[in-house]
Amino acid sequence: MTVPTGYRLIDLPRERKEEMVEVDQWAFAFATRPDDADALAECFPFDRGRAVEIADASRGAVGSLAAIHSSFGFQLRVPGGGVVPTAGLTWVGVHQGHRRRGLLRAMITDHFARARARGEALSTLYAAEPPIYQKFGYGLATQDVRMKIDRKPDLREVPGSDDLAVALDTASIDRHGPVLRAFQADFTRPGSTTVIPDPLLNNLFLDTESAREGGEPLRFATVLDGDRVVAWALFRRKGEWNEWDPRGVVNVPAWGAHSAAATRRLWSVLTDFDLMISTHAWLVALDDPLRHLLLHERGQKPDLRDNTWLRILDVKSTLEGRGYEADCDVTVEVTDAIIPENAGNWRVLISGGEATVTPAEGVKADLLIGIQELGAAYLGDTSIEALTRATLVTEHTPGAAHSLGRAMASSISPVCNIGF
């Protein structure tokens, strides 16, 4: 593994949490109150924490941290209903005094090698800036919509929705953490994780003064069908006034719903609090029932966002790990500048919803596809055909892009409903 001269890669243990937070602040340009730093550090997965340390005095104080990163051990829901072990890359930050010297590149190479050694076939992330990770083969696999929903919007009726019970509570990781985890374990939408590691749960429930930014304590909404939790949301209101009127805003950073009835019930409550004029909904899937139920979606200022970026670490097991919508038999030549085991010709034989992927050295390829494009298409949000039309995939055999594209389509739009 190549590490720039004067630096070394190390494990990042909990004992170095103050230094870790310091680098994070240098990377993301924010301040946290001293009392809040410990709670913030508990959101960092130290069991997988890695850092770049200064090894040569010409770079700075030897032994101090120049960069950090870690990952969450996820099980990513994929089309067809299965899960694939996935490393959710997180907390990537380089101290601004050490940027553009190759530290990110060294950390990514390290991340790929360690994830593969753990048997994780995918890596996903949220990108602070979209161009960064495309250099390393991450493709845009999921998109979401953010909306600023007006108070009490018109929602189309859903039978049974009004019968569902709603409980509003101050968020408690002890009481609501298990609720959220149980929900996610059953959540069928591709692109989400069915497992929420402890530091990610800490992050979701982070409720320090710094995190509140003047708003109320974090709240938790639960929608119940009898005893069964059918929807949840974390939310925070912030009261504001202009000279005459209340202008409060509700922020909903993470939520999930199992059905249209649960979605309608949840959002009819979240969009109708006294003194609030708008509810900011994050992480709405492209085909989410909420979008279809809003009578005037355009009025809620929908804004398309990149949701998660996905990197295939092991072509064979990822392609065999998901389900498919149609049969096909194509040979694809995959290019991958970082993971040589992925590169080369693969026969993808799909039958009865399942793929068998075998090396096909010497067989003429029907399609030429880079690892970034394969990652973009993996969850079914982006079609191989669209990528071919965009000249990002090359079709050697007419019809091959259509055939593989149809097989890889997902009847449910993928989204990750939890930020990390």
Which pairing describes strands 122-125 and 83-94: parallel, antiparallel, or unpaired?
A: parallel
Nearer to ligand COA, 8 or 301 (CB): 8
Nearer to ligand COA, 136 or 205 (CB): 136
Q: Using H for helix, E for strand and C for coil, what is the string for the chain?
A: CCCCCCEEEEECCHHHHHHHHHHHHHHHCCCCCHHHHHHHHCCCCHHHCEEEEECCHHHCCCCCEEEEEEEEEEEEECCCCCEEEEEEEEEEEECHHHCCCCHHHHHHHHHHHHHHHCCCCEEEECCCCCHHHHCCCCEECCEEEEEEEECCCCECCCCCHHHCEEEEEECCHHHHHHHHHHHHHHCCCCCCECCCCHHHHHHHCCCCHHHHCCCCCCEEEEEEECCEEEEEEEEEEECCECCCCECEEEEEEEEEECCHHHHHHHHHHHCCCCCEEEEEEEEEECCCHHHHHECCCHHHCCEEEECCEEEECCHHHHHHHCCCCCCEEEEEEEECCCCHHHCEEEEEEEECCEEEEEECCCCCCCEEEEHHHHHHHHCCCCCHHHHHHCCCEEECCCCHHHHHHHHHCCCCCCCCCCCC
Site string for ligand COA, 45-84 (x = CB under 6 A): ----------------------------------------
The rounded Cα 36 to chain-centroid distance in angstroms is: 25
Nearer to ligand COA, 124 or 251 (CB): 124
Look up 133 and say whether it is catalytic. Answer: yes
Site string for ligand COA, 28-47 (x = CB under 6 A): x-------------------
Cβ atoms of 347 and 381 closer than 8 Å: no
Instruction: Supply the minimum distance, in Å, between the C-beta of residue 9 and ligand COA.
Output: 13
Among 21, 76, 92, 115, binds ligand COA (CB under 6 A): 92
Binding flag, residue 305, ligand COA (CB under 6 A): no
Binding flag, residue 100, ligand COA (CB under 6 A): yes
Catalytic one of 72, 133, 138, 205: 133
Binding flag, residue 1, ligand COA (CB under 6 A): no
Nearer to ligand COA, 94 or 285 (CB): 94
Nearest residue to 283 (alpha-carbon basis) of 174, 144, 178, 123: 144
Task: State how far the Cα of 380 lies from the Cα of 78, in Å rounded to an integer.
Answer: 9
Nearer to ligand COA, 27 or 332 (CB): 27
Nearer to ligand COA, 100 or 298 (CB): 100
Among 8, 99, 114, 301, binds ligand COA (CB under 6 A): 99
Binding flag, residue 212, ligand COA (CB under 6 A): no
Site string for ligand COA, 239-278 (x = CB under 6 A): ----------------------------------------
Binding flag, residue 93, ligand COA (CB under 6 A): yes
Instruction: Supply the minimum distance, in Å, between the C-beta of residue 105 and ligand COA.
Output: 4
Window 102-161: residues binding ligand COA (CB under 6 A): 102-105, 127-129, 131-132, 135
Task: State how far the Cα of 116 lies from the Cα of 109, in Å rounded to an integer.
Answer: 11
Instruction: Supply the minimum distance, in Å, between the C-beta of residue 420 and ligand COA.
Output: 10
Instruction: Supply the minimum distance, in Å, between the C-beta of residue 148 and ligand COA.
Output: 24
Binding flag, residue 27, ligand COA (CB under 6 A): yes
Instruction: Supply the minimum distance, in Å, between the C-beta of residue 338 and ligand COA.
Output: 11
Residue showing the smallest CB distance to ligand COA in the complex: 104
Instruction: Supply the minimum distance, in Å, between the C-beta of residue 66 and ligand COA.
Output: 9
Region near ligand COA per CB under 6 A, out of 87-95, 255-263, 300-308, 407-415: 87-95
* Residue ranges that bind ligand COA, judged by CB under 6 A: 27-28, 92-94, 99-105, 127-129, 131-132, 135
Residues marked active site are found at 133, 420
